[in-house]
Amino acid sequence: MGAYGAAVCASAYGSMKLAQALGADALADKDPLPPDLRERLLARDPLFVTSHWVLAVAAMVGVVVALATVRPWGAAVPRRLLLTITWTLGIFMIARSIGLLGFGFVGDTLLLTGVRPPPSGHVALAHELAYWDLLLWSPFFLLWGVCWITAARWLGGHRFTRHRGRGRAREDGRTGRAGRP
């Protein structure tokens, strides 16, 4: 279930980034960025347009990786590679949602309660973006991260029934050698 959730989240995020790359606003004005970067984002600075294309492609790769953890064709991908990717993405996204990377539940709460001061001259904007992050982005990244972790845990506990290597045991108990149990 986690793999399909991760694939759906990656698809949604990638669709948004693709729309932004093609010129749509698609929540771009709700991106919790510092004011100077936000202005560049909204002005369609080439750096941000390029980053949207990169993130859209990365999200498409994420869909494939997520599905590779549960689909039979995923047996062609080294298991350790899939485990490393899924655990890394899950931990990164959960850390982002909590606020260990600057935004997230902790950072937004600190800003909204006045413990962390907003940038001078941008108090209203900082509060608006913190609300959006607290109500939309942080829960989204938390959900996405939990899906990745769930996919990683499932992959770590299951073996594909297809032959994954010469002489290695398969889930059905056979050694993988033709004609021998």
The per-residue pLDDT for range 48-65, each reduced to its tens digit, is 899 999 999 999 999 999
- Residue 179 placed within a domain: no
* Closest of 90, 77, 75 to residue 146, by C-alpha: 90
Q: Say yes or no to pLDDT of 91 above 80.
A: yes
Looking at residue 160, what is its pLDDT?
53
- Residue 120 placed within a domain: yes
115-136 pLDDT, tens per residue?
988 888 888 888 999 999 999 9
- Residue 178 placed within a domain: no
- Residue 131 placed within a domain: yes
25, 53, 89, 141, 166 from 50: Cα distances, Å:
15, 5, 22, 22, 43
55 Cβ neighbours under 8 A, 6+ residues apart: 13, 14, 17
- Residue 173 placed within a domain: no
Whether pTM > 0.85 for this model: the answer is no
- Residue 167 placed within a domain: no
Q: What average pLDDT is seen over the chain? A: 86
Instruction: Indicate the number of domains in the chain.
Output: 1
DSSP 37: H
Average pLDDT over residues 89-109: 90
* Closest of 79, 103, 86, 73 to residue 9, by C-alpha: 86
CB 10 within 8 A of CB 42: no
Alpha helices per DSSP H over the chain: 2-21, 35-42, 46-68, 79-98, 104-112, 123-132, 138-157
- Residue 170 placed within a domain: no
- Residue 168 placed within a domain: no
Q: Residue 130's domain spans which residues? A: 2-157
Determine the residue type at 82. Answer: L
Looking at residue 166, what is its pLDDT?
42
Q: What region, left, alpha or beta, does residue 91 occupy, with left being phi > 0 and alpha being psi -120 to 50 degrees?
A: alpha
Average pLDDT over residues 32-41: 83
DSSP SS3 for 83: helix
